[in-house]
Chain A
Amino acid sequence: MKGAYTVDETTGARRGRVAMVNGPVITAVGMSSFAMREMVHVGERRLLGEIIRMNGEEATIQVYEDTQGMRVGESIDGSGESLSIALGPGLLGGFFDGIGRPLAALLDKEGMYISPGIEVPTIDPDKAWEIKPVAKAGDMASSGTLLGTVQETGLVLHRVICPPDVEGEIIWIVPEGRITSGGTVAQVKSATGRTVDVPLTQRWPVRTPRPYMDRLLPNEPLVTGQRVIDGLFPLAKGGAAAIPGGFGTGKTVTQHQLAKWSEAKIVVYIGCGERGNEMTDVLEQFPVLEDPRSGRALMERTILVANTSNMPVAAREASIYTGITIAEYFRDMGYDVALMADSTSRWAEALREISGRLEEIPAEEGFPAYLPSRLAEFYERAGRVVTLSGESGSVSIIGAVSPPGGDFTEPVTRHTKRFIRCFWGLDKNLANARHFPAISWLDSYSEYAQEVEEWFQSNVEPRWGELREKSRAVLMEDEKIQQVIRLVGEDVLPDDQRLLAYTAFLVKNGYLQQAAFGSDSYSPPLKGFAILDLIMYFYDKGLELVRQGVPISLIREGDAVEDLTHLRELQADDHAAFENARAKLDAHFTRVGTERTREQGGER
C-alpha cells in the first residue's frame, strides 16, 4: 500500500499532496512551485490554509479550519496570492470570521454550525450601490486619487480611491448610478500602454501594512466618553493603548464602551479567541444604540471580526491582521478609525500553539521567540498619517491583554508595554468592589496626556490640565494616607489629611466610577469636568475651613456633600442642575463656617 498515491495531474503542475496531519498543522509534499505565505486549498473539502515554512519539496501549512477527517494523500491547490481580504463598500455593519468570511452568509448557507470548507466571498459581488464619479476620463490617476464616492451607510461616505501601484490616464470612468460590488470603477492606461481595470472591490494582503505618505504627531485626543480615560489617561487619535487585566476585571466591557462611544468615524472590533455570546451582545446592541453625535445607529460605522475561542486556532492568528487591514483601508479615505482587539493574548497563544506544533524552540513560557517582533509589527500599524490622497486619517489601536493570573509581568503584557504609549491597567481589587471601570489610577499611564492637553484646553475648558494635575495629586497623596489608615485607623489622622482622603473617596465614587449602562454610560468631557470641578471646589473650600479650625465631621456631613457622589446621575447638558449643586454646596459651607464662628465666638 505504501506510496501508492494517484496524483491528479490533469489540471497542471501546481498541485501538492498531504503527507502528515497534526491538528491544524499539516505537512505537504510536491510543493516546490508554491510560494511562501501563499494561500492554499487543502484536501477534498478545500480547507483554507497558508504556507508557513518551506523546505525543498516539502511545505508546512497552517489550516484555518478544522482538519478532522483529513487523509494523507489528499491534494493541495494554490491560490496564487498570500492571505488577502476584499475591501470595498459592503464591509460596514458586517460581521466576519478571522479570514473574512461573512458569518451571515455562512448562516444562510450552512445553518447554525460553522462547518469546514465553505467558500463565501467577503463582499457579495452582486450587491448594488449608487456611485458618484469624482474623477473624469482624461484625468491622470495615481495611487490615492479619488475616483468616486458611494454613500455606504447614513454615517459613512465610502471614498473609492485608486489603489497603490496603479498610475496613468483614466480612459474610462463609471457613470453616475448603479454599480455592483463586482463592478469596475475606472480603466487606467499606464505610461507603458497597459490598461488596468480598477474594481470597486479591491484586494489587499493582510500581513502587509497599507502605504501612506507621511506620519503625523498624535496630538488630538480620541474622546471616549469615559471619564477615567478622557480625564486622567487620554488616548490620542492614532495612538496605541493596552488594557491588561485578569479575568472578571472588565476588559471586554471597557472595550465595548470604547467601541460604542469613541469619537471615531469607523470602529473595527476584533473578537479574538473570546466568547461567542460577547459578539452576539454587540450584534444585538449596536443596531439599536445611537451614536451620541449623529443620532444614527452605531452599527452603521462598525465592522466586527470574530474568531471565537471554539473556532479554529489558526484563523485566530489571522483575525488580527484581517481587522487591521480593514482599519487601514478606511484610514486611507481620510477617516479616524478605532480598532479594538479583544484579546491580543489569545492571538499570542494561537502563535504559541502553532509554534508548538511546528516544534520550534520556545522562548519565555512557551511563547515563540518572535512574539515581541510580531507585537511590534501589529501596534506600529496604528498611527495618524497623511494618506496617499493627502488627507489626514488615523488608526488607533486598543488591545486587551489577558495576563494569566492577572500577573502583569508575563511576556505578552511586558512586551506589549514596550510598543504602546497608553496603559490602562485593570485592578482586581477594584473589580471585586465593583468599582467600574476598574482602571487603576496608580498603575495606569498615558504618554499622550501632555500632547493632547492643549486640545482639551482650547476645545473643552481652559482649566483642563490644571484640574487633571490637581486631582491626580489628590489620588496619589490619598494612597499614602490609606496606608496609614490601614495600620492605625482614620480617627488619629489630622483633619486636613482626613479631608483629602474624603475628597479622594468622592473622586473615586463620584467621578472615576461610571456605569456601563444607563444614562451615564457616555459622559462628554464637559460633564466630567463639571463633576471634578465641583469635587475639587469642595476640597479647596473645605481646606480653608479646616484651617480655620472647623472639624471635618461638620464639613463632610450634609445633603450637599452626599450629592457630590450622585452628580453623575445628572444629564450632561443640565447646566442648571450643576449650578444648583454648587449653590447648595456654597450654602453648606457658609452655614458650617458661620455656625462654627458663632460657637467659637460664644466660647470666648
Chain B
Amino acid sequence: MPQSEYIGIGQINGPFILVEGATDAFYEELVDVRIPGGKIRRGRVVSLSEKATLVQVFAGTDSLIPSTTRVRFLGKTLEVQLSPAIMGRTFNGLGEPTDGCGPVFGGKRVDANGMPLNPMARQYPKDFIHTGISAIDTLTTLIRGQKLPIFSGNGLPHNQLAVQIATQARLMSSEDFAVVFAGIGIKHDDAEFFTREFSEKGRSNNIVTFLNLADDPVIERIATPRMALTAAEYMAYELGMHVLVIITDMTSYCEALRELGVAAGEVPSRKGYPAYLYSDLASLYERAGVVRGINGSVTQIPILSMPNDDITHPIPDLTGFITEGQIVLSRDLDAKGIYPPIDVLTSLSRLMKDGIGKGFTRDDHPGVASQLFASYSRVQDVRSLAGVVGEDELSKTDKQSLTFGEFFETRFLRQGKDEDREIGLSLDTAWSLLGALPKGDLTRVSLDEIREHIKE
C-alpha cells in the first residue's frame, strides 16, 4: 500500500502535533515523523476529524519545525516483532533492541494493543506456583495465570522480593518457564539490579526485558507494558511456555497517562487522572490468564509504589479492583528488620481458595491460613490495647496472643533473601505457632484438624 506523506504540520502542543488534510489516516495508526536532519520519531493517531488529525509523538516534539516536518502514515498500528529468538534479549519501550545484538529476524509482527480474551476461552486458574516464601505460599498463594500486584512504597524491598519470586518460582510439574520483565520509568540502578540478579541466579537465558528508563521519553511508557505483554502472550500461547511477567513501576505508567491526558486537554477525574484509567489498567492486567486447550499461561506481578503509602490513592485502588488480590508491603515490618515485610492482613490472593488444600497443597492449608489471619488480626487489637494499659496489665490470653504475634513475625514471616522454604515446612511452622494459643480461640480450623496437628 502506498504510504502518504505530508509536509508541514499545523500545531504543536506538548507531545501532540496536528496534521491537516490527512483524510486517509485511521484511529490508532502509527506515523513516522521526520524531523529536519533526517531523524525519525514514532507517533500514533489519537483522534481524527475531517479537518485535522491529532498525532501523539512518542519521543516528544522538541526541535520540530512546523513548516518542514514530514509526517508519514504507516498504515499499521503499534506492533512488535516476535520470534523464539527474543529469549534473553533486551528491548526499549517501543520494542527496539538495545542490547547491541542486532534486530530480531524472522517470526512475525503482532499488534501490541491486544484484543480482549473471550471469557469463554479462559480456563479458571488453579495451579499453585511454589515461591518458597512462607507468607506468599501459605497466606497469599500465587496461582498460575493470576495477576497479583505488589503494593509497595519508596524505599521498601519490593525489587528484592520480585527477584526472589521470579528466581524461586516453580511449578509443581516441570514445564517451560520464562520471565518477561518490563521496567517502566525505572532508575538505571534498579534496571542494573534486576539484570545482575537474574544473570547471577541463572535465569537470564529465559528472560526477555523491555526497559523504559526514567530519563527515556514519558510517552514511551504507555507502550512498554503493551510490548512486554504481547511478547508474553506470544511465548505463552504460541510457544507453550508458562510466563511470569514482572512490571515495575505501574505508578510511573499512570503518571505518564495523566501527563498525556492533561496535555490532550481531557476532562480529568480523581486526582487529575483520566476517567478511563480503570479501563486502561484493565486492558493491561486482564492480559493474564490461562486459555483452555493451550499449554502456556501468563502470570503477572505488577509492582507499584503507593504515593505516600496511601492504599486508597487511585493507582493502588483501581489496581486492586482489577487484579486478583495484592501483596502489600509494610513499612513497620521493614523497620523491625523483617524481610519480606509482607503485611498479611491487607494482602490477599483471590484465586487461592481454589488452588490450595486437598489435591493441591495440603488438606489443612485453608483452615490454617484462615486461622492465622484471624489470630494475627487479634494480635493487632491486643497490641493497641497494650499500648494503652501496658503489657503487664493484660490478661493471660492477651499475653499469649502477643507471644504468638512475635513468633509469627520472626519465625514465620522472616526468611532469608535466598531461602526457598518448602510449603509443608511453612504449614508445620504455622501449626507450631497456633499451638501456643488457647484452643477455644481456634475457631477457623475444624476440631479434627486441631486433634491431628496440635499435640498436647
Interface of A with B (CB < 8 Å)?
A: 1-4, 19-23, 27, 66-73, 95, 103-104, 106-107, 110-115, 246-248, 271, 273, 275-277, 279-281, 283-284, 306, 308-313, 346, 349, 352-353, 356, 359, 362, 365-366, 402, 404-407, 432-435, 485-491, 509-510, 516-517, 556-557, 561-562, 565-566, 569
Contacts and interface: CB of A to CB of B under 8 A. Distances in A.
Contacts of A489: 385, 389, 393-395, 398
Contacts of A491: 393, 395
B7 to A, nearest CB: 13
Contacts of A362: 267
A201 to B, nearest CB: 22
Contacts of A283: 119-120
Contacts of B389: 487-489
Given A3-B50, A562-B439, A565-B443, A356 B266 contact: yes
A356 B279 CA distance: 14
A101 to B, nearest CB: 10
Interface stretch (B24-32, B163-171, B216-224, B428-436): B24-32
Contacts of B444: 434
A276 B286 contact: yes
Nearest to B269: A366
A348 B259 CA distance: 24
Contact of B270 (A66, A276, A279, A365): A365
26 contacts: A1-B21, A2-B23, A2-B50, A3-B50, A19-B50, A69-B28, A73-B50, A113-B115, A113-B118, A114-B117, A247-B320, A248-B350, A281-B124, A308-B116, A308-B286, A309-B322, A310-B286, A346-B278, A433-B377, A433-B378, A486-B384, A486-B388, A488-B388, A489-B398, A509-B443, A566-B443
Contact of B120 (A1, A104, A356): A104
Given A69-B29, A114-B116, A487-B388, 7 more contacts: A20-B48, A72-B25, A73-B50, A115-B115, A248-B326, A309-B282, A491-B393
B381 interface: yes
Contacts of A2: 21, 23, 50-51
B446 interface: yes
Contacts of B119: 95, 103, 271, 276, 279-280, 283, 306, 308
A366 B120 CA distance: 34
A72 B48 contact: yes
Given A106-B118, A310-B116, A432 B24 contact: no
Contacts of A349: 275, 278-279
B312 A405 contact: yes
B370 interface: yes
Question: In the complex, which of the residues B117, B268, B324 has the most CB atoms of chain A within 10 Å of its own CB atom?
Answer: B117
B122 A72 contact: no
A542 to B, nearest CB: 15
A565 B48 CA distance: 64
Contact of B47 (A20, A311, A485, A487): A20
B440 interface: yes
B261 to A, nearest CB: 10
A-B CB proximity, top 5 nearest: A405-B312, A309-B282, A247-B320, A433-B377, A20-B49
Q: Is the interface of B mostly helix, strand, loop or mixed?
A: mixed
Contact of B279 (A68, A106, A353): A353
Interface string B108-150: 0000011111111111110000000000000000000100000
Interface string B92-121: 000000000000000000000111111111
Given A275-B286, A432-B377, A107 B118 contact: yes
Contacts of A366: 267-270, 275
Contacts of B381: 486
Interface string B50-87: 11000000000000000000000000010000000000
Q: Is the interface of A mostly helix, strand, loop or mixed?
A: mixed
Contacts of A405: 311-312, 317
A112 B320 CA distance: 26
B346 interface: yes
A15 to B, nearest CB: 17
A372 B239 CA distance: 49
Contact of A404 (B27, B115, B314, B348): B314
A49 B311 CA distance: 37
Contacts of A73: 23, 50
B361 to A, nearest CB: 15
Contacts of A3: 50
Contact of A1 (B23, B123, B125): B23
Contacts of B51: 2
Question: In the complex, which of the residues B28, B283, B354, B378 has the most CB atoms of chain A within 10 Å of its own CB atom?
Answer: B28
B23 A434 contact: no
Interface residues of B, number: 85
Nearest to A430: B377
A432 B117 contact: no
Given A20-B47, A22-B47, A490 B395 contact: yes
Contact of A247 (B268, B279, B317): B317
A271 B120 CA distance: 13
Contacts of A557: 440
B289 interface: yes
A111 B120 CA distance: 10
Contacts of B321: 247, 402
Nearest to A563: B447
Contacts of A565: 443
B269 A352 contact: yes
Contact of B27 (A21, A313, A407): A21
B291 interface: yes
Contact of A21 (B48, B122, B440, B447): B48
A271 B116 CA distance: 15
Nearest to B326: A248
Given A68-B27, A73-B23, A365-B270, A280 B50 contact: no
Contacts of B326: 247-248
Question: In the complex, which of the residues A107, A246, A279, A432 has the most CB atoms of chain B within 10 Å of its own CB atom?
Answer: A432
Interface string B413-456: 00000000000000000000000000110011011000000000
Contacts of B291: 112
Interface in B292-335: 294, 311-312, 314, 317-318, 320-322, 324-326
Nearest to B267: A356
A4 B370 CA distance: 68
Contacts of B311: 405
B270 A404 contact: yes
Given A112-B117, A279-B119, A352-B275, A248 B348 contact: yes
Contacts of B118: 103, 106-107, 110-114
Contact of B447 (A19, A70, A566): A566
A248 B328 CA distance: 12
Given A275-B324, A353-B276, A280 B49 contact: no
Contact of A310 (B117, B274, B373, B447): B117
B149 to A, nearest CB: 11
B54 to A, nearest CB: 9
B187 interface: no
Interface in B344-358: 345-346, 348, 350-351, 353-354
B113 to A, nearest CB: 7
B287 interface: yes
Nearest to A428: B346
Question: In the complex, which of the residues B117, B119, B354 has the most CB atoms of chain A within 10 Å of its own CB atom?
Answer: B119
B83 to A, nearest CB: 21
A27 B267 contact: no
B162 interface: no
B374 interface: yes
B312 A407 contact: yes
Contacts of B24: 71
Nearest to B113: A68
Nearest to B354: A281
B321 to A, nearest CB: 5
Contacts of A247: 317, 320-321, 326
A71 B25 contact: yes
